[in-house]
């Protein structure tokens, strides 16, 4: 099935509207930006540190070694000491977002409102809206919006990219081994249900690039509860993996144990690399996850 460009544009507009709707209820990311610490590029974010910037930070006494041009004479004239006027260090940040577009993300349980993919896309875009409003640069990994940019255009591009249907996608998503901006941020939205050997190296790759970030594991309720019974053949959404059981109910506990194991592994890895983890269920409100992301991106070291 092909989707006509006009429909795609329409989907993109709707997607955008939804995203802005949930982003609109949050204060601009700017308010939180003061808590950001480091940056590599000049931006509009105060880093609560003295550095290169435009806003006044503090006066401090001149120390031996300070260049004379740095002395603020107006302040120094009022006392015997020499004072140096320091400005606040400001930085713009690059946030790379990966929204898993694998077939497994298209799953939707019988009672769930939307698929996992829908939720991932929504969160990605909403976060982007916030970031762009705050003047950050965002990139959508694995798409043609992978180049970090800021501004409305980037949002448009991202929305188009997210609405795009990828014909040859995988059954389970693997984070792309992208080139990350140094000391950037990364947000991975996926169910992380793929084979361990595929998923984890990609995650460590990001950490290796000195990129801090968040894993958001988006799951459907049925994936947690496993409400199945009877003789069943389970297939992956793409149909590549198959498993047959005589009594599905009997496997529930083993399955839940394995799910917990997988999460534990994610957590452990996140702890080691300084990332953070969130399990988000599609039955929950997306706002919760967005807020968490908003706090997490702002609060990462």
What is the binding site for another protein (CB under 8 A)? Answer: 104-105, 107, 116, 172, 191, 193-195, 220, 222-223, 226, 228, 230-237, 241-247, 250-251, 254-255, 258-259, 262
Which of 145, 117, 124, 112 has the alpha carbon at shortest distance from 221? 112
Nearer to another protein, 18 or 221 (CB): 221
Shortest Cβ distance from residue 183 to another protein (Å)?
33
**CB 238, min distance to another protein, A:** 9
Residue 232: phi and psi, rounded to 5, are: -140, 145
Q: How far is Cα 207 from Cα 93, in angstroms, rounded to an integer?
A: 17
154: helix, strand or coil: helix
- If the CB atoms of residues 173 and 184 are measured against another protein, the closer one turns out to be 173
Q: In this complex, which beta carbon is closest to another protein, that of residue 23 or of residue 102?
A: 102
Which H helix or E strand runs over 294?
helix 286-299
Q: How far is the CB of 112 from another protein (least distance, A)?
A: 12
Q: In the bound complex, what is the minimum distance in angstroms from residue 243's beta carbon to another protein?
A: 5
Residue with Cβ nearer another protein (144 or 235)? 235
Residue number, 111 or 247, with CB nearest to another protein: 247
CA angle 119/189/97 to nearest 5° reads 110
Beta bridge partners, 215, equal: 188, 277
Residue 98 C-beta: closest distance to another protein, Å = 17
Task: Decide whether 116 or 281 has the Cβ nearer to another protein.
Answer: 116
DSSP 156-198: HHHHHHHH---TT--SS-----PPPPTT-EEEEEE---S-HHH
> What is the torsional sign of CA 36, 151, 185, 213?
positive
Min separation Cβ 105 and another protein, Å: 8
For residues 21 and 258, which CB has a smaller minimum distance to another protein in the complex?
258
> Across the chain, where does the E strand assignment appear?
41-50, 56-61, 83-92, 94-99, 137-140, 185-190, 212-219, 232-235, 242-245, 276-281
Q: Provide, rounded to whole angstroms, the least separation between the CB of residue 301 and another protein.
A: 33
């Amino acid at each position: 099935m092909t989707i006509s460009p006009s429909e795609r544009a329409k989907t993109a507009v709707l997607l955008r509207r939804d995203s802005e709707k949930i982003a609109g209820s949050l204060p601009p990311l700017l308010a939180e930006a003061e808590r950001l610490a480091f940056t590599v590029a000049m931006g509009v974010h105060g880093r609560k540190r003295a550095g290169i910037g435009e806003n006044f930070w503090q006066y401090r006494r001149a120390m031996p070694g300070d260049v004379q041009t740095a002395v603020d004479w107006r302040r120094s004239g009022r006392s015997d000491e020499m004072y140096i006027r320091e400005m606040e260090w400001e930085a713009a940040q690059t946030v790379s977002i990966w929204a898993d577009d694998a077939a497994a993300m298209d799953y939707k349980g019988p009672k769930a409102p939307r698929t996992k993919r829908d939720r991932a896309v929504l969160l990605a875009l909403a976060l982007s809206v916030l970031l762009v409003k705050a003047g950050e640069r965002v990139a959508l990994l694995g798409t043609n919006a992978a180049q970090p940019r800021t501004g409305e255009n980037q949002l448009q591009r991202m929305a188009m990219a997210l609405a795009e249907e990828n014909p040859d996608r995988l059954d389970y998503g693997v984070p792309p081994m992208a080139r990350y901006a140094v000391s950037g941020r990364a947000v991975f939205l996926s169910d992380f249900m793929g084979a361990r050997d595929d998923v984890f190296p990609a995650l460590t790759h990001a950490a290796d690039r000195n990129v801090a970030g968040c894993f958001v594991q988006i799951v459907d309720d049925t994936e947690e509860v496993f409400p199945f019974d009877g003789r069943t053949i389970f297939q992956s959404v793409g149909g590549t993996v198959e498993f047959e059981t005589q009594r599905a109910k009997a496997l529930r506990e083993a399955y839940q144990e394995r799910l917990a194991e997988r999460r534990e592994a994610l957590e452990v890895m996140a702890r080691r690399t300084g990332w953070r983890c969130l399990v988000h269920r599609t039955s929950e409100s997306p706002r919760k996850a967005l807020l968490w992301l908003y706090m997490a991106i702002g609060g990462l070291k």
